[in-house]
Structures are given as structure tokens and as C-alpha cells.
Structure 1
Amino acid sequence: MKVPIKAILLIVFYIVMVTGCSRKKDNFVSRNYHAVTAEFNALYNGYLALEQGRNSLNESYNDDYWEILPIERMQIQEDIVLPGQSKNENFNRAEEKAVKAIQKHSINIEGREKNPQIDEAYLLLGKARYFDQRFVPALAAFNNILNKYPTSDKINQVKIWREKANIRLENNEIAIKKLKRLLDEEELEDQDLADATSILAQAYLNTKSVDSAITQLEIAANATKNNDERGRYRFIQGQLYNTLGYKDSANIAFDKVIELNRKTPRIYMISAHIEKIKNFDYETGDKYALLEHLTELEENRENRPYLDKIYHQIGEHYLKNQSDSLAVTYYNKSLRTNSQDKLLVAKNYETLGDMNFDKSMYEVAGNYYDSTMASLVLNSKPYRVIKRKRDNLEDVIYYENIARVNDSILQLVNFSETERLEYFESFVEALKIKDEEEKAKAEAAERNAAGLATIDNKIGNQSQNNAAPNQAALFYFYNPTTVAYGKNEFIKIWGNRTLEDNWRWANKTTSSAGNNASDINIVDTASDEERLDPQFYISKIPTEEKAIDSISKERNFAYYQLGLIYKEKFKEYNLSKNKFQNLLSSNPEERLILLSKYNLYKIYQLLGENDEALIAKNEIVTNYPDSRYATILNNPDLANLKDENSPENIYEAIYTQHENQQYAEVISKCENYINVFDGDPIVSKFELLKATATGRLFGYEAYKKAINYVAITFANTEEGKQAQKIEEELLPKISATDFIEETEDVSTNFKVIYKFENTELENIEMFQKTLDSVLKNIKYYNLKTSVDVYNPNTTFVIIHGLKNAQVAKTFDQLLTKEDKQKITKPYFAISSANYQIVQIHKNLDTYLSLSNK
């Protein structure tokens, strides 16, 4: 049987190819076979995977245009990746292809690589590792090329990529040195030049050399053939010029970005427009031309994805021109675009909050600040700034509400009977109109519900083959009429409630922008007949002199606190001045007059109103010559020295007594200085210190009562909040009075206690000294003594350091005969846990009766 000639030739050709393409042979066939196979198989697929990975990085990366943009768009992730894992499967695949090309197609004979594609494989390997954020392995791959393939045609690219890896590893000085050497020694062109200078610019930025970075970016922007890169480099140039204060140069750079138009990503062009607008000089520039420009940007359909930024900038324009209502409109438009720029959203909310704060709409401002914080990174510096402002606003809201409500009540008190009747008749008419509107809405809701039920019945009777009805259309909350009715009914029944746990509780009622809690309670608790009777409301106006005086005092104290808050926390000196002036014109209590006048004096100085300051000073010196404020005004140098009679120094002295367990004296002095400094912010500190001393001297129940007083009376101070925390968290933990069984397994620390009546105080110090000398003679134990006040009549001398119940109970057996003669006073032993209960609840007699059984 004859074998076909073609088959024989095919077999021969296959044998020649297999034997001739060995990686151990350096011949034409072997070199070209492995080069072509590596380039058009492994490396081709590897670069495809690399490009896919880079595209996914670009799509997921969001530039922060509020900061200087990085040269390269790549988000560094802090997540820890275990060996063998990858942050992006595309880069993992590219790395695998590069490794495959090296392993299967490398022709290394006598230490020299014969396959010209292997350096390309190592370059791919380094790039894949770089974009996968494994910079040290990437650096190793690039160095491998430089060491083994110094004549590679990719050598300049490799040097650039190596320095990119060095920069990511924060070796900026090394990168600058080597890149400058590369630019000096080699004549780079086109993209290689753009890559080298742009990455050098990043190294300069990292080392705060802004001028050098601008120069390198100019070279990169001119050299690159990629318009995306050119637009980015020009925009960064403009940002850098702005940081240096060169607005004209910045605008030229932004104009170059705008000239690229559709050749570069539109976000660069829009951002360039906005940055130019930010640089606009409102004193000398053409405001009408600027507004026309902003309007063109707003109306351009291509700019729709960026309306959040455009609306915000239009809002800024109107705000600077004092067109507040238009500014608010555009800030709200920006918010309604559902922008993905969290910082932009935060700035919109913050600006709206500031605008409402300036209008004294503090509750609304507080809500805007809450929204601002929700859009900021938790615990970041901007977040902390807004949180501090929001926390301070709590006090403002609280006292402004008190001032507003009490002013309204006092105004009604001063009305004549005719004025009261006219006022409440108009109020009742407004209620009737509101009731009619709600009734109309309810009837509309009922008709709508009946119509839906009819439609539902008809649909139910249709054939089963028909399409199912849209159940969503029947859902209660999809019907705006029923929802509006439901909201009104809820507010009517419950009032305004914050979305939180236990919202039904009576103490959770909060005030709304137009009403206060007392309004809601009076209206909502009245019967239908009473609600529409003006005389019902007139009867609620206080008439007793004592009640009116109390309301007046509460209002005056609110004015005083607001004056302090605006002065000390917000530096709003005009607002503070108004509050203190209102207070002084409202017949305030004597205790607030001097403090208010002195604060007004300081405010006049801060505002540069020297004549007013002089008048305030003379009033204080003349009318209160013996006060410490008069002393300070007569001797200004004393203000810079330590004032021993200042509230702060007095508090420190009393606190030192507290640390020395002089609790009775602390309580007495705190009560005295609370009256002396009544109205001063430091009063809350004295009250909390008094509560603590009370607890140490009289026990749990007295402490609980005192802490509750501080928490309620000073709810909006730091001390009040601390007391609230103690009340909620600490008191429940120490409320138990049951003693713990004293066994060696449970209680490992014991105390030996000698009890002294306070009539024997002179003997305590001598007894402790004798006891210390005796304890030195006891071996194997490290014993120490202390003195603890138990109650107003009893003090303990305590021995610490015993670990065994039996040893503690028979402590005297550890003493020598001589020492027993020195220490004859009776004692008792107690575990540390039970001693804590005894000190907290002052139930020593109960413990002793139980231990003696």
C-alpha cells in the first residue's frame, strides 16, 4: 500500500519543527517560533486583560475636584490582600499570561536571553503587579529587565515604570533623582517624554515642590498624544497655579482645557469652567456676563450630568450678590440632582445651614447640619467641625425656644382683655380653616379609596387570562392624597416626633418650626368645643404674680445663656450684644445685671465700639466698686495675672479638698459659691462636684438624687450631659445592695478595717503611723494602709494586700506580742467587692450583722 507523498512531507515537517523549536537550541527557527508564539498568544491576551483591568479602575475611580488631582487615576486601597490573592482578576490574568510567556518561551542559553519578547513579558508582569497595587513585586520585575536586558528597546519605559513604583512606595527623592538623570541622558520623545515628566511632576507634588511640578506638567501636556491626559495635566496646572495665588495663570491653564472641548473628558472642561468662575473678581468683573455664562452652562444639554456642580456654582454666585432666595433655590436644585459628589452635597447643606443660622432659624439650621454630617466621612476634620457647631447649636435651640415661648406668654400677659380676645379669635379662625382643609382632604381620600375598591372589584371579575393588576397602584403610600391625610392625622394626635426608639413617650415630644410643645399640648388635649373657643385659651394665660415672675426669670436666664453662647462659642458678637441688651431692658434679677454689663463691655471692645465700652466700664466701676470685675477694669494688668478669686481658681481649690476626702466642707463651699456665682457657667461644675461629694458622704440614694438634679437643671451643659450619662449608665450598675459570698474562690482581695468615730480624728493619724510601723514586721505580705471617709460620723483606717479570707479575719495572729500591745483596737475583715457595696450604699451595719451570723 503506497503512502501519499503529502502525508509523508507533513510528518517530516512536524518532526523538524518539534526538534528544531526546542528552548535549548539557539537557531533561527527556535527563536522566531517562540518569539511569535509569545507575542501573539500569551502577551496579546495578557495586554488585553491589562487594558480591561485599567478600564475597570478608571470607571470605579472618582476624582475629588475639591483637592489637587493626582497625575494618575488610581485609587489606592488599604485592604490587606493575602498571598496568592488579587484585587482585580484582570490583573491576575495578565500576570499569569506574562509568567506563562516567560516559563514556556524563554530561551536562556549561557546566561543570555535569545527570545526578544521576554523583556516585554517582564514589563507586562511589572505593570500587572503595579496596577494590582503590589508595588514591591512590581519593582522586582522592572529591576529584572534593567539587570538582564540592558539593550532592550523598552528600557526607557521600564525606567519610567520603575520610578512610578518607587513613588507609590514613597521613595520620592530616589524617583526624582533617577528621572532627572533619565531626562538628561536620553532624548525622550512623545509618550515616553510625557510619561517621564508627568510622573516626575507627581514626585514633586509629593515633596511640595509646586513650581517644579508645574514646569514638568507643561512639558508633559505638550508631549503627550493622548488628549485625555493633556486635559488632565492642564487642569492640574490650573489647580496648582491657584494654590500659589496666580489666578491669571490658572485661568490660562483652564482656558486650554476648555479649548479641547470634546477631545477630552467633559468633566475636565466643566470643572475648568467652574474653577475660572471661582477666580472671578466680583469687585471689578462684569457680573452680568458671568451670569450669562453660568446660564449657558446650565442650559447646555451636554452638561446635564454635571448640573449638580453648575447649580452649586450659580448658588454661590447669587449668595455673593446677596440674592439669598435665588441662592437657596439653586442650592436645593443641586441637592435634587442626587449628586454622587458627597463633599458637594455637604457644602450645599452646610451653606443652607449657615444661612438659616444667620436668620436665627436654629432648628432648621440644625437639621441642615445633620444632613451635612451624613455626607462627610465619619470623624474626619470637616465632620468634627460641623459636629462641634451642631452640638453648640443644641444649646442655642433650647434657649431660643425658651426665650420665644416665654416672650409670647409675657406678651399675652401684658395684653388688654380686648387685645387677647382679638388675638385668639384670629387664632381660632385659622384653626377652622385648617380643619376645613383637612376635612376636604379626608373626603377626597375616601372617594379615592372607594374608586380604587371599585376598580379592584372589576379587575377581580376579569378573566384569569388577563394580565394581573398593578398592585403597587393600590398601595397606601403610593397615593399622595392618603399620605397627606395620614401625616396630618399623625401630627394632630401625636405632635411632631423624631424618628427614634420609644417615640410614643410623652417626653419625646419635640417642637416644630412654627409651634412649640406647649402649643401642641394645649390644642391637642382640648375637646372639640374648647379648641374653637377663644375664652379657653384666654383662661390658660397665667395670672398669678408668682407664675409670671417665674416665666420672666426663665426668659431672662435664657437671654443670658444665649448671650454667652453667641459670644464664646460662635463669636457672633452682634447677636450676643442684642441678647445682653434685651436682658438688661427686661428688668432682670440683680445677679444677672453685673455679669451682662461686663460681657457687654468686652463685646464693645471686640466690635471696636470704644464709646459704648467706656460707658459700660464706668457703670460697672461706679455701681459695683467692690466687685472683682471693677477691680479688673481699674487694674487691667491683673487680668493677665492669676486671679485667686476667680471662679476657676476657687473651683480648683475646692476640687483639691474633694481629693483629700473633705466631703462635708466641699458640699458646704459648693453651696456657698453656687449662690455667689449664680448665672455664671461655672455653676454647673460646682453642682456636679457637690453631687459627687454628696454621694461619697451619704451614699447611693443621695447621689442618685443629686445627679438627677444636675442632669435636669443643667441639661444643655457638659456637666449636665455627663450627669445624664452617669444616670443612664453608671447608676444601674452600682444599684445592687446584695453582698457577695466571701469565699476564697469568689473573693480574692480582702481588707482589714479599723473603725473610728469622727470625734477621734486626732487619733487617726497617730494610729496609722503606728500601724505602718507594725506592718513592716510582717513577712510574706506586702501590706499598705489608707484612710477612707465612710459617712459624716465615721472614718476607716484600712489595711490592703490580703488575698485570703481566713488570714484577713485572723489578722492579729500575724502580729508579734509586742506589736499586739501597740494595736489593740478591734477590727473586721471584708472583701474588696463587699467593701465597695458598703461605701456606695452606706450599709455597714447590715454587712456586720450578716457576717456575725
Structure 2
Amino acid sequence: MKTAFKTILTLLLTTILVVSCSRKKDKFVSRNFHAVTTEFNTLYNGNIALEQGQNSLNMAYFDNYWDVLPIERMQIREEVMLPGQSKNEDFTRAEEKAVKAIQKHSMNINGKEVNPQMDEAYLLLGKARYFDQRFVPALEAFNYILYKYPASDKINQAKVWREKTNMRLDNNELAIKNLKRLLKQEALEKQDLADATSMLAQAYINTKSVDSAITQLEIAAQATRKNDERGRYRFIQAQLYNQLGYRDSANIAFDKVIELNRKTPRIYMITAYLEKFKNFDFENDDKFEAIELLTKLEEDRENRPFLDKIFHQIGEFHLGNASDTLAVDYYNKSLRTNSQDKLLQARNYETLAYMYFDNSEYARAGAYFDSTMINLTLNSKPYRIVKRKRDNLEDVIYYEAIAKTNDSILHLVHLPEAERLAMFETFVSDLKVKAEEEQLQAEAAERNANTGLVTANNIPTSGNNIPQRGLPGQAAQFYFYNPTTVAYGKNEFVKIWGNRKLEDNWRWSSKGASATGNDVSSSATDLLALASDEEKFDPQFYISKIPTETKEIDSISKERNYAYYQLGLIYKEKFKEYELSKSKFQDLLDSNPEERLILPSKYNLYKIYEILGQNDEASIAKNDIIKSYPESRYATILENPELVSDKDENSPASLYEALYLQHENQEYAEVISKSETYIKRFDGEPMVPKFELLKATASGRLLGFEAYKKAINHLAVTYANTKEGKQAQKIETELLSRISSTDFVTAIDSITTNYKVVFQFNKNEKEAITTFKKTLDDVLKEIKYYRLSSSVDVYNAEKTFVLVHGLKNEAVAKTFTQLLTDKNKKKIQKPFFVISSANYQVVQIHKNLDPYLNRNNQ
């Protein structure tokens, strides 16, 4: 009986509780039940998920200290998310909890919400959507709070979050207006005031109102209760002062960040120190005190995560202090930290590149520019600037490499036999010593492997795959404690990398044997891969590879001389390095160059002497040119400079323009002939590749595919680093394969519906061609229903075509004369053949008219 009574009582109480907790009744129990359940269950879990999501955002966000920091650390993703998709599951969960709270615990009775936690639910909903970067739905949630819960204690927070969302939607002016009204109407305090003023500052930053932003940041920094926010606000304030050029005010703000010390993230303090050094005045400030502080920052163990930035700033300091060697050391130290800051890496590489560029070490500068671009965003403005600089170095690096290689070969060629033999004997002797060491190390490594000792490539491990380390003498040794294994490792390094100095960038090829200046080592090392075991240790093997044929030596010498000439031009025209240019031209003239390079080199030397103010040398060079080459264009220029205008008819540019017009007029034979003349006359000048390309095109039009292919290949190889050479390379790879086929297209397979009526003339019948075309034009005007036109095309050196265009049907084209009146038929009695546009292209490219006519029995 008691059991039945207890059961009935329990059911009764449960029923009363359920009925009393209904969302439809405004009762004390119902209100408090749903309020407590919302706050301590649904919203509690939702806020935890939101906090976790915010932490993951902060962890993934990387501040760019090279620009003014944003107030809020949130990376805006560029990809568009579809409805229902989310990048962060925590924010999805937070939103789900907010929605659950609204759906299951909202008590909207008679148009009034009686659950006091619903404003918190909508605020959580808006925040979750905001951080998930769904700003329009987030705005709706915040606006709903303002509309539905005007008396809420969270109303000011909702207003601030709404304006944050407006800023994300680029409504900065609206956000400024609303935040200013909020600050005017409400007496905000503490964190609410900090949030409102910091967001107002961000809106001012977005609209470039820097002065106003600084004022609001000062209020926010004083009002916030969070030291990490205070440090960030002070830092941004200092950045804005720097942006305005107020160095002293910026330093005061940075000092306030530094004073926070451990109360704020250390990155702010370290970067504040470094930003102050960027404002260092080398004329008035204490250099000794500055370098002492920088050294202290470098040596502090707590600053190890920030050594990339510290080393970079020390390098900047030494560079500003004209200590270039120390600057290079510290820039390289910064690079060796493997910093995650791509912009910092780019700055290091770019600064080093410009330093080497200013020292005329263009090959090294080019390598550093390459590394700079790797760390920049593709196709960004900084990337394009560096790429343009790097592209300008392409030619100088190419020709410097040729000059260096060929100089090395020619040095060996002209070396006396005894000295040459002695050098290679020394090289072979060193090689034998290395081989013996390698053999010993290999045997030792094999013995160690057989006896269970540790080697670099055979490290015993325990069951959990952790290498077993111990002290010398123990059975399982850490391999650095084993001198035999260490020696083997050193030998392997030498095998792979060669002898390298302990210095920065040791892996670069320029740091290897080829950069030592030892021609024998450089040349011989290249041959090792081709040599047998016996040949490797025979000096005569290497000596036998040195060129001996006069023709081969002359070819190497000519290539070297041409590289000298191009380098002289590049240094003079592109980089204005007149001393470097002068030395290249002088070295060229001392190397017994080809006749074609002597005169332009002397003229360029004359111009350089003038620029450098070396008037005596300039006078000697001028008189030499006039006396030795009286009929040349250069002599004419020097004797009568007042007669030479920018449009000199004999200049390469003017001659090219005239020749191009002849090409347009289909005077291909004349273009080919004159191009060859001009190429020889102006050899070495920038216009020569243009003449080569024009000649190649004319050859293709007149002589056909094979001639065109040969000319394009010559241009691509000979002038590889010019604009025209690169264009020729592109033609080789993309176009020639597409037009190489000589197959004709049948009428059924043809994708074209255009046909041509072709009349053949001998090329010498110029007057007959002109008269016939005039008559044909008059006749075509009288043809009804068709819009026909004519043209004259050169086929080859012996034959010219007069064509009729505009016919869409092969049958109509073959009965072309039936379109004419009886009177006009008498005017056009010359035989013709019909060809589709596709086949006409094949005939013109491959000059295979006869096979086409025989195929069609025309």
C-alpha cells in the first residue's frame, strides 16, 4: 500500500511540475525553470563552444606588424561558404545551442518575452554567426535584440556588436555615426566603454581618420580591464603616431607597452622595443646605448621565439650605421631562424639583394631576389616590383656566367704545359686522399653495422622507436659520441656538397668549388661524373679534355667576347654602372674580338668617357673612330652631331620601320636581303633581334615552313634572353607543332565554309597583276547577293596569287564565272582554281601547291 501511495504521489508531483513549467504560462516556477535551464545548461555550453572557437581563431591568426594592427584579431577568409557550411565546428555548436535555447525556452506571452535569458541567447547567436563570418545573419540577431529587448542589460553590448558587424560589411560611416550616438547618449563605463571606443577607433582607421582613432584608443586603453587589450591598443596607437610622423609621441606610446611587461603578451613588448629602434636618430641618439639594449634583447633566453625579429632589427641598425658586414651577418642570422613571418623573410632577402646589387654583385643579387619573391604573395604589388628588378638581372646573370666559364676554359688553354700538369697533379693528389678517407670510413661504417654500433644511417631504437642515447663506452651509443661515425658523416657531406666554408648560405652552388676561383677544381669536378675509376686519378684525363682545336677555341673566345659586349651594354644602359661597363668594353678590345664588335665597343667607350668626365680619353676615342672608320655611321654622328636627330634615317630604328613597311607590302625577298645586311651592320645592338624576327617571318612567307622553322630556331637559341628570343621560343613550343602537318582537309571534314577563287600570275607580271585586280574589283561590285572582295598574295619568289574572298559554297566557287554577266565574263577569262581557306593556309605555309592541284586534278 505504501509503495502504491509513493508511486501515485511521484506521478502527481511530476505532472504538477511539468504543467507548471509550461512555456505558455507566465508563472514564477515556469519563468525561473526556463531561465535557470537556459543560463546554466544551454547557454553555458554555447558560451564554452564560442570561447573555444575564439581561441582557435586567435591561435590561427598571425599579426602583421609591418602594417597597423587591427583592433580585433580575426582573419577574414576569402572563399565563399555555402549555406549550412562552416569552417569552425565550435561556432556551429555555439549557434546550435543559442537556437536550442530560443526554441525550447523562449516564453513569448502576449507579445512579451518573460524569460530574462533570451537576450543572452540572441547575443550568443549573433556572436557565433559573426565569428563564423556570416555577417548579415549576425546583424539580424543583434538588431532583434535592439528591437525586442530595449530594456536589456546587454543592450549596449548588442549595439557595439552590431557596429562591429557593420564595419565588416564596409558600412564604416554608419558605424561611426551609431557609436558616437551611443557614447553621447549612454554613460558607458569600464569594459563597455573600452569596447565601444576601440571599435570606433577601428572605424576611424578604416576611413583614414588617424587623429580621431588615436583619441579613441587612448580612452579604450584606460577603460579596458584586460591587459592584453591595453597592450594592443597602446601598440596600435604608437603605430598611428608613426604613420603621422610623430616620432616622439610614438616612442612614448611604445614605452607604455613596454611598461606593461608581463601583464601583456610578450610579442607586444618585444615589437615595441624594435619599433622604437626604427625611430632611432643616428645623428643625435646614443648609438652605444642602443646597441647595448639590442644585445641585451638578443641574449635574453625568454626572447628566443622572437630572435627572427630581433636579428633583423639589429641588421637594420648596423645598416643604418654603415656597418654593412655586420648587417649582412644579422640578416642571415634572422633567415636561419626559419621564421614563420613571410614578410620578415622577404625583407631580409630583399635587403641583402639590394646590398649585393649596389655592390654590383648581380648574380648573387638575382638569387636573393628569387628568394624574396618566394616569400611574397604572388602577383601582389611588392611581388611585381621585385620581379621587374629580377627580370632586369636576367641578361647580366646569363652573360656573366658565360664570361666566367669561358674565361676559365681559356685560362687553362693558354696555361703552359708544365703548370697545367702540376695543377692537375695537385688536384688528383687531393682526390686520392679523399678517396682513401672515404674508403676507410666506409669500411668502418660497415664494421660498426656488423657489430651493432650506431651509425648515422643505422640508429638502434627501443620498442617505442625513440633513439637510444648514452655515454661513450656504452653498448648503444648516440652517434655523435662515436668518432668513426662522425668521420663517416663528414665524408658523406663532402661527397654530396664538396668542401664548403662554415658560412651563411653554404648550400648555394656559388659557395661550392666553382666559386673559389680555382679553374682546375671547377672544371675537373664537372668531369668526375663522366670519368671511370682509373681516369679519375689520371691528370692526363683532365688535360685531354681541354680544347685544342683552333676552331673550338675560337668559338669559345667569340662567345666570351660577345658576352663581354652584352655586359658592357647592360651595365651602361640598364644599370648606369659606367665603370663596370668601361672595364668590360676595355677587356673586350684587349681580347682580339671580331671586327663587328670593335667599332660599337669603341663608340660606347667614347660615350662612357664623356659621362665620366674623362675628356682626354673621350677625345682619343673619338679621333680613333673618325680616323679608322670614316665611312661609318658612328663617324658621321661624331663629326656632325647637329645633323643627327632622333629620327636619323640611318639609325637602326628608322631602318627597321622602313623595312617593316616593305614587309607589309609583301616585298619578302627585299626584306630578307636587307635584314641580313642590317644584322651584320648593327651586330650587338638591341635592334638586331627585331631584324632577325622580321627576317624569320619574311622567310616563312616566301620560302615556307622549313625556312621559317630554321630561322625561328636560330633566333630562339642565339638571342635567348631577349624579348624576341623568348617570343621565338614560344613559337617553337606552341605554334610550329600545330602548323607542321602538310595534310589537306577534305570538303566533308573541313570545319570552314570559306572558299577562295585563285588566279595565278608570274611575279614579274606586276603591271598585269595591278590591271587584273582593278578589273576584278569592278566586276565583283556588280555581282548580286554576294559580298566579295579581292587581294594579292605572294606565293613564292616566282608566283603571285590574285584571290577572290567571300564564297561560302564550293560548288558556287567552282562556277564562279556563272555569277558574272556576259559582258564581265569577257573581262575575266583567266583560268583559276578553287581552294578552301584551311587548305589555302596549308599551301601557303608549306608551299605545296602542285600536290594540291594534282590531288584535285585542277
TM-score by length of 2: 0.86
C-alpha separation in 2, matches of 1:353 and 1:331: 11
1:421-570 equivalences in 2 (<5 Å) = 421-422=418-419, 424-455=421-452, 512-514=514-516, 532-533=538-539, 537=543, 540=546, 552-570=557-575
Residue 673 (1) aligns with residue 678 (2): yes
Aligned-partner residue type, residue 307 of structure 1:
L
**In the alignment, which residue of structure 1 is the partner of 2:157?**
157
SS in 2 for 1:305: helix
Q: Determine what percentage of the aligned residue pairs are the same residue.
A: 65
Which residue number in structure 2 is paired with residue 507 of structure 1? none
Q: Is the 8 A contact 1:442 1:485 kept in 2?
A: no
Match of 2:836 in 1: 831
CA distance in 2 between partners of 1:805 and 1:280 (Å): 83
* 3-state SS, counterpart of residue 338 of structure 1: coil
* Map 1:785-804 → 2, pairs under 5 A: 785-804=790-809
Task: Give 1:652's aligned residue.
Answer: 657
Question: Offset at 1:700?
Answer: 1.0
Distance 1:636 1:257 in 2: 66
Query: Does the 8 Å contact 1:191/1:224 carry over to 2?
Result: yes
Could you tell me which residue of structure 1 aligns to residue 777 of structure 2? Answer: 772
Alignment of 1:37-52 (within 5 A): 37-52=37-52
Q: Displacement, 1:686? A: 1.0
Q: Aligned with 2:764: secondary structure? A: helix
Deviations 1:329-385 (A, max 9, x none): 433333332221122223333344445555665554444433333322222233333
Structure 2 regions of 5+ residues with no counterpart? 455-461, 469-475, 499-511
Farther off after superposition, 367-376 or 748-757: 367-376
Q: In the alignment, what sits opposite 2:703?
A: 698
Q: Which residue of 2 aligns with 1:576?
A: 581
1:317-328 mapped onto 2 (5 Å cutoff):
317-328=317-328
Could you say what secondary structure the match of 1:829 adopts? strand
- Residue 710 (structure 1) aligns with: 715
Q: Residues 253-652 of structure 1: matches in 2 within 5 Å?
A: 253-357=253-357, 362-408=362-408, 417=416, 421-422=418-419, 424-455=421-452, 512-514=514-516, 532-533=538-539, 537=543, 540=546, 552-583=557-588, 591-592=596-597, 595-596=600-601, 599=604, 609=612, 611-612=613-614, 616=618, 619-620=621-622, 623-624=625-626, 642-652=647-657
- Mapped to 2, the partners of 1:518 and 1:811 lie a distance apart of 71
Q: In 2 relative to 1, CA 563–190 (structure 1 residues): closer, same or farther, beyond 3 Å? A: farther
3-state SS in 2 of match to 1:133: coil
Q: 5+ unaligned residues in a row in structure 1: which ranges?
A: 458-464, 493-509
The question of whether the paired residues in 2 share the 8 Å contact of 1:101 and 1:121 is answered with: yes
Cα 1:183–1:483 shift into 2, 3 Å? same
Is 1:761 matched up with 2:766?
Answer: yes
State the secondary structure of the residue aligned to 2:812: helix
**Equivalent residue, structure 2, for 1:86:** 86
Deviations 1:704-724 (A, max 9, x none): 111121122112222222222
SS of aligned partner of 2:666:
coil
Determine the structure 1 residue equivalent to 2:200.
200
CA contact (8 A) 2:441 2:491 kept: no
Aligned partner of 1:63 in structure 2 is 63
C-alpha distance 41-428 of structure 1, shift in aligned 2 (>3 A): same
Aligned residue number for residue 685 of structure 1: 690
Mapped to 2, the partners of 1:576 and 1:284 lie a distance apart of 40
Q: Deviations over 1:598-627 (max 9, x none)?
A: 655666777xx4x33686378548844887
Q: Distance in 2 between matches of 1:640 and 1:207?
A: 52
Q: AA paired with 2:565?
A: Y
Cα drift, residue 170 of structure 1? 0.9
Q: Secondary structure at the match of 1:240?
A: helix
Cα offset, 1:60, TM superposition: 0.9
Secondary structure of 2:795's counterpart equals strand
Give the deviation of 1:326 after TM superposition: 4.1
Distance 2:106 2:345 in 1: 55
- The range that moved more, 286-295 or 483-492, is 483-492
| One-letter identity of the residue aligned with 2:94 | A
Q: Residues 463-499 of structure 1, C-alpha deviation per residue, up to 9 Å, x if partnerless?
A: xx9999989x99x9x988667767766899xxxxxxx
**Residue 408 of structure 1: CA displacement?**
4.5
Offset at 1:232? 1.2
Deviation string, structure 1 residues 637-694 (Cα, Å, up to 9, x no partner): 9999555544334323322332332222222222222223222111111111111111
Question: Partner of 1:130: helix, strand, or coil?
Answer: helix
Residue identity opposite 2:841 in structure 1: Q
Task: Give the RMSD, CA atoms, in angstroms.
Answer: 3.8
Q: Which residue of 1 aligns with 2:471?
A: none
CA distance in 1 between partners of 2:642 and 2:105 (Å):
87
CA offsets 1:396-444 (integer angstroms, 9 cap, x no match): 22221333344455556776x4xx6336514431331233123312331
Matched, 1:246 2:243: no
Match of residue 497 from structure 1: none
Q: Measure the CA separation in 2 of the matches of 1:119 and 1:466.
A: 57
Aligned pair 1:728/2:730, yes or no?
Answer: no
Distance in 1 (CA, whole Å) between partners of 2:557 and 2:17 is 107
Distance change in 2, residues 1:585/1:206 (3 Å): farther
Which of residues 664, 682, 685 is equivalent to 2:669? Answer: 664
Match of 1:140 in 2: 140
Work out whether residues 395 and 716 of structure 1, in 8 Å CA contact, stay in contact via their aligned partners in 2: yes
Q: Which moved more, 1:402-411 or 1:303-312?
A: 402-411
Aligned residues: 820
Deviations 1:751-782 (A, max 9, x none): 22222221222233333333334334444444
Q: Which residue type is aligned with residue 127 of structure 1?
A: K
1:24 corresponds to 2:24: yes
Q: What's the secondary structure of 2:452's corresponding residue?
A: helix
Q: Distance in 2 between matches of 1:538 and 1:11?
A: 109
CA distance 1:837–1:513, change in 2 (3 Å): farther
SS at 2:765's partner residue?
A: helix
Contact 2:428 2:539 in 1 (8 A): no
**Whole-Å separation in 2 of the counterparts to 1:724 and 1:511:** 33
The one-letter amino acid paired with 2:821 is: T
CA contact (8 A) 2:167 2:203 kept: yes
**CA distance 1:84–1:759, shift in 2 (3 Å):** same
1:813 maps to which residue? 818
* CA deviation after TM superposition for structure 1 residue 789, in Å: 1.6
State the one-letter code of the partner of 1:444. Answer: Q
Higher mean displacement: 793-802 or 641-650: 641-650
The alignment partner of 2:801 has SS state of strand
* Corresponding residue number in structure 2 for 1:496: none
> 1:5 Cα shift?
7.2
Change (3 A) 1:487 1:735: farther
Give how far 1:548 is off: 6.4
